[in-house]
């Protein structure tokens, strides 16, 4: 499997999926960090192309941010996107053991997905994870998860591309399963 090769699972039976889309910011959306006005925090600005790609992703499923950026800065990204549905936020809690694993966010993602499922806060039937840091531990987890999982791993220099979004759209449509 190459770095950009998507991982998908055929457990859904071939029909359209209704995924939660776990979306990283750095290395995926690569926003510009601009000074805030009047001494405020910096502002994150997305390019027109990245905004269009995220809007397409949002038509495929429920967006959930998987990022360590502060909530107010992420809210600024959301305002730029103007999505119909407010994205969720995966609670990121890093423990010392997370520093020594290939996918440091994996423990937080697993904990969040479990909590959402246990409290009936989830209405999705599959998971899409778009992140520039997805190691073999994440791929093992994806193969063992109780729902179909599709992963896209952008090159951090270029971030999210048309090809990644097309891969997600194909997964959601059930193509190749």
Instruction: For residue 55, give the 3-state DSSP assignment.
Output: helix
pLDDT at residue 6 in the model: 44
Other CB atoms within 10 A of residue 39 CB: 6
What's residue 132's pLDDT? 97
Tens-binned pLDDT, residue by residue, of the chain (177 aa): 334 444 444 444 556 789 999 999 999 999 998 887 766 778 889 999 999 999 999 999 999 999 988 888 899 999 999 999 999 999 998 888 777 889 999 999 999 999 998 887 788 999 999 999 999 999 999 999 999 999 999 999 999 999 999 999 999 998 644
Q: Do residues 11 and 59 lie in contact, with contact meaning Cβ atoms separated by under 8 Å?
A: no
Q: What is the pLDDT of residue 100?
A: 84
User: Which pTM does this prediction carry?
Assistant: 0.87
List, as one string, the DSSP characters of 92-130.
Answer: P---GGGGGSS-TTHHHHHHHHHHHHHTT----SEEEEE
């Amino acid at each position: 499997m190459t770095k950009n090769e998507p991982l998908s699972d055929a457990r859904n039976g071939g029909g359209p999926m209704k995924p939660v889309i776990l979306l990283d910011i750095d290395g995926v959306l690569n926003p510009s960090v601009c000074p805030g006005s009047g001494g405020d925090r910096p502002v994150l600005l997305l390019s027109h192309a990245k905004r269009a790609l995220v809007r397409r992703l949002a038509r495929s499923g429920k967006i959930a941010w998987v990022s360590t950026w502060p909530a107010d800065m992420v809210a600024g990204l959301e305002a730029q996107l103007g999505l119909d549905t407010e994205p969720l936020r995966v609670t990121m809690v890093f423990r010392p053991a997370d520093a020594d694993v290939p996918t440091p966010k994996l423990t937080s993602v697993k904990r969040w997905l479990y909590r959402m499922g246990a409290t009936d806060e989830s209405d999705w039937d599959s998971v899409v994870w778009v992140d520039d840091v997805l190691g073999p531990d994440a791929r093992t987890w994806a193969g063992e998860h109780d729902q179909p999982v599709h992963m896209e791993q952008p090159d951090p220099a270029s971030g999210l591309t048309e090809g990644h979004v097309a891969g997600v759209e194909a997964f959601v449509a059930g193509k190749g399963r």
